[in-house]
Amino acid sequence: MIEAEPGDDTALDRALIERWNAGDEQAATALVTRHAPALARYAVRLGMSDEAAELVQDTFVRAFGALGTFRSESSLRTWLFTIQRRLVIDRRRATARRGQELDIEEVGYASTGYDALDTIVADETSMRVTKALASLTRMQREVFVLRVQEGRSYKEIAQILDSSEGAARVHYHNAMRAVKEFLDD
């Protein structure tokens, strides 16, 4: 289990990628150790608790298979989030095709299962905040998680969600308003 989580240092990531390409196995270990916790957390926030570890692994395998396409104009972690999110959507589509989830419009977001089970709730207040997050729309919740819990910028969120910065900003503020209203009730 990974406990520590190093920061999101683009220059360090770039250097590690270069070392990996030169045949340094330890560089890959360092990269996985740096980003796996955030990916696992993101998977859980997307409602994929049961498959989080597998998703993290698949994300790294896919990312390392396409390192040649990685553009360092975005951070490695943002790129990894983007890949993982697509994997989540693919899995939900596959599940929907098997008839386990019927609402195709909501594929990729529906039934994310973001509830108390996905969070270690320490007290009553945390429970209420968790429920407030669960009340958000799928897009609001995803943007809110990326902005608040993962500290991503609007530009990065737009890249991850394949959207625009303006849309990400609107979703964030709508989500914040909804959370406040939920807590005020």
Partner 1 sequence: MTDCMNAEMRDLLPDLAAEALSTAETSRVGAHVAGCSPCADELALIRQVRGLRAPAVEIDVGAIVAKLPRPTPGAAPRVTAPHDDRGVVSLDARRLAATHAAVGRRSLANRARGAWRVAAALGVIVAGGWSIMMVRSGGIPNMQMQADSVPLTDLGAGVSVPNVTANEDGGNTPIADTSPNAQATEGAAISFGAMNDLTDEELTRVLDRLEQWDGATSVETTTTRPILLTTPGEARQ
Rounded Cα distance between 22 and 43, Å, is 31
Binding of residue 14 to partner 1 (CB under 8 A): yes
Residue 93 burial (10 A CB sphere; 0-12, 13-18, 19+): middle
Tokens of 93: 């589509």
Quick one: CA torsion of 12, 13, 14, 16, rounded to 10 degrees?
90
Subset of residues 127 to 146 that bind partner 1, contact rule: CB under 8 A: 129-130, 133, 144
Separation between Cα atoms, residue 42 and residue 70, nearest integer Å: 20
Kindly indicate which of the ranges 31-39, 86-94, 102-110, 134-142 contains the residues binding partner 1, using the contact rule CB under 8 A.
31-39
Structural contact between residues 122 and 153, judged by C-beta atoms closer than 8 angstroms: no
State the nearest-atom distance from the C-beta of 104 to partner 1, in Å: 28
171 counts as binding partner 1 under rule CB under 8 A = no
CB nearer to partner 1: pick between 86 and 173: 173
Q: Which residues bind partner 1 (CB under 8 A)?
A: 1-2, 14, 17-18, 20-23, 25, 28-29, 32-33, 36-37, 40-41, 43-45, 49, 52-53, 56-57, 60-61, 64-65, 67-73, 117-121, 125-126, 129-130, 133, 144, 147-149, 151, 153-154, 169, 173, 176-177, 179-180, 183-184
